[in-house]
Structure 1
Amino acid sequence: MNELYDRAAAATLRLLAQFGQPVLLREVQKGAYDPSTGKTGPDTVTEQVAQGVLLDFTGLEFQANSLIRVGDKKLKIAASGLVSAPTLLSTVIVQGKSWSIVPPLKEVNPAGTPLLYELQVRS
């Protein structure tokens, strides 16, 4: 059964690569404080490229969800190929524009195999 979901994850990645665009996911982990020197170490930046599609919300989605603001977008990215899942602290860069992720972060995950992440992003 898991092989079926692995094939579905591969198909999702293939379709988003064909019809979507590259999306950069950036995580910044603050440097640790060193009490002996009184200084904070350098931040660690981790980046990974995903395949995704940036969409507008529909009028019905605006009516059903009061957390959506004008200018927010829906971003769907393939889970296949990602080292780690996006988090609410991730920054998303699409078409040279930086976006933050607004809760909730949705994961399409049948039988424990992540296929797709659906994010609400705000610039």
Structure 2
Amino acid sequence: MATFYDEMAVMALEMITEFGQPVTISKTEPGEYDPETGGMSPGATVGQTAQGILLDFTGQEFQANSLIKVGDKKLKIAARGLEWAPSLLNKVVVQGRTWSIVPPLKEINPAGTPILYELQVRS
């Protein structure tokens, strides 16, 4: 069964690559303890490029979910080929604009095979 979902993940990546755009997902790795200063050293920012589609929320979605604010967007990202999964602490850059990920973050993951991440993003 995993083979079928692997094929679906490849197909999702192909479709989003064809009709979507590159998206940069970045996260900050925690720094290490610095004995000279007695504090933590600054963390490093790590990024990865993904393929995504940036969409507007529909009026029906606004009515059904009070957590959506005006200006929020829906970002669908293909899971195939990602080094790490997006999380709520990450930032995404789409079309030169930086967005924060806000709840909910959905992972489409049938039978343990990630296919797609659906994010709500806010600038």
Correspondence for 1:38 = 38
Within a 5 Å distance, the mapping from 1:48-67 to structure 2 comes to: 48-67=48-67
Q: Relative to structure 2, which stretch is displaced further, 38-47 or 10-19?
A: 38-47
Q: State the match for 1:104 in structure 2.
A: 104
Q: Give the whole-Å Cα distance in 2 for the aligned partners of 1:30 and 1:90.
A: 13
1:73 paired to 2:73 = yes
Matched, 1:6 2:27: no
What is the alpha-carbon root mean square deviation over aligned residues? 1.1
Aligned length: 123
Deviation at 1:39, TM superposition (A): 4.1
Identity of aligned residues (%): 63
Amino acid at match of 1:114: P
CA-CA distance at 1:34 after TM superposition: 2.3
Unpaired runs of 5+ residues, structure 2, are: none
Moved over 6 A (4+): none
Relative to the length of structure 2, the TM-score reads: 0.95
